[in-house]
Structure 1
Amino acid sequence: MRSDDKLIKDCLSGNKQAQYELYQRFSGVLFGICLRYARNRAEAEDLLQDAFIKIFSRLDSFGFKGSFEGWLRRLVVNLAINFRRDYLKQFFVNTEAGLPDAEAAEASDASDMTFIPREKLLQMIQSLPDGYRMVFNMYVFENLSHHQIAELLEISENTSKTQLMKARKRLRLMVEAELAMNKISVKS
């Protein structure tokens, strides 16, 4: 197996086998990111296809500094954000006044979700309204601050905090319902 650097150089020289190998090596992890941001599997597949088109067209801009997988992840996240940005604007409710428990929600513990199978939890996240899902993914999976999320989505920080709080509340209700069906109690 080629190193990432060798694989990139071979891709840049037009080696089709290297391009296929790059796709095979990273498509799984990148598809996981697409699934988190997409409304459904078909949309995630479209995002992944668009991502690889962008990856191959921008591969020369990598620069061999830092992690190649990190560069790929950031590219896919940015693509997903841009894909949804205009669509999402209609779902955000301006909450400049904020809610008093928005900060508390930020500090809440999501350890209850460890009892839910990963696939089921992914389905729950995908079922969130677009605005909630985007903020939740960016905060939880991409480790972005509310300030960064606000800038990327062109919303206020309070809106980001509120969307996260609402996403967590909905997820908690879904988790509680799932655990109740399986007769498992949820910590409060």
Structure 2
Amino acid sequence: MKTLVLPLSDAELVAACRRGSAAAQQELYHRFAPKMLALCLRYVHHEFDAEEVLARGFVKVFRCLGQFEGRGSLEGWVRRIVVHEALSYLRRREILTLRLEDCHTGHLATDLPTADVELQAADLLRLVQELPAGYRAVFNLCALEGYTHPEVAALLGISEGTSKSQLSKARAVLQRQVAALHSSFSTSYAQAHVA
């Protein structure tokens, strides 16, 4: 049996995985799992659910590894599979409302001042996770994953207009949440210095 020498290039890693090397499969998982778990957490609310999405995603990665043609990065290919699995999860487990007529619009002010607040990554993740499932899916795909509106429309089975509307509404909600955090921080800071 041939010993696996790590670290391998992506091409070497894929070839070793295709040959059935357990060490290569473990290396592939450990190389990409932390980033993919962070991605999953942007789509689903709970860490347990994100881990389920991650596990299902990697099952598909290993099952479909023969289809990886080496065009583009291996990480990008894995990311697409995990994003698709996260969307499948949302369709199965959450109400993924993406039709304009079903959306709760209310007053979505977009002229709020930009809050000059340094938020921790965990705070930003929490704000994104609090978005309704439809807003969250489109925001993640467009703003964080770089998909275009035509691509999002095809992925989610919606119109481009709906994708644009969902992104706009998600941004407005996030902007209000950041402004509220800014206001909360400013009030706390002022009260601390008055006492």
TM-score bracket for this pair, using the shorter chain length:
0.7 to 0.9
- Structure 2 matches for 1:88-99, cutoff 5 A? 91-95=97-101
* TM-score using structure 1 length: 0.82
Q: Say if 1:10 and 1:164 are closer, same or farther in 2 by CA, change over 3 A.
A: same
Most deviating of 69-78 and 141-150: 141-150
Q: 2-side partners of 1:36 and 1:181: how far apart?
A: 24
Per-residue deviation, 1:59: 0.8
Q: Which amino acid counterpart does residue 71 of structure 1 have in structure 2?
A: W
Q: Which residue of 2 aligns with 1:31?
A: 37
Q: 2-side partners of 1:11 and 1:180: how far apart?
A: 52
Report if aligned partners of 2:149, 2:163 keep a CA contact under 8 Å in 1: yes
Q: Say if 1:130 and 1:110 are closer, same or farther in 2 by CA, change over 3 A.
A: farther
Q: Which residue of 2 aligns with 1:53?
A: 59
Query: Structure 2: 5+ residue runs without aligned partners?
Result: 1-6, 188-195
* TM-score using structure 2 length: 0.80
| Percent of residue pairs bearing the same amino acid type | 37
Q: Name the SS of the counterpart of 2:45 in structure 1.
A: coil
Q: Which amino acid counterpart does residue 19 of structure 1 have in structure 2?
A: Q
Larger Cα-atom Rg: 2
Aligned residues: 178
Q: Say if 1:154 and 1:174 are closer, same or farther in 2 by CA, change over 3 A.
A: same
Per-residue deviation, 1:112: 4.5
Q: Say if 1:8 and 1:114 are closer, same or farther in 2 by CA, change over 3 A.
A: farther
Map Cα deviations across residues 11-50 of structure 1 (whole Å, 9 max, x no partner).
Answer: 1111111111111111011111111111221111100000
Q: Say if 1:162 and 1:113 are closer, same or farther in 2 by CA, change over 3 A.
A: farther
Per-residue deviation, 1:159: 1.7
Please state if 1:85 is matched with 2:96: no
Q: Which residue of 2 aligns with 1:140?
A: 143
Q: Which residue of 2 aligns with 1:164?
A: 167
Q: Which residue of 1 aligns with 2:191?
A: none
Q: Which residue of 1 aligns with 2:15?
A: 9
Query: Structure 1: 5+ residue runs without aligned partners?
Result: none
Pick one of 131, 135, 155 that aligns with 2:134. 131
Pairwise CA RMSD: 2.9
Q: Name the SS of the counterpart of 2:186 in structure 1.
A: coil
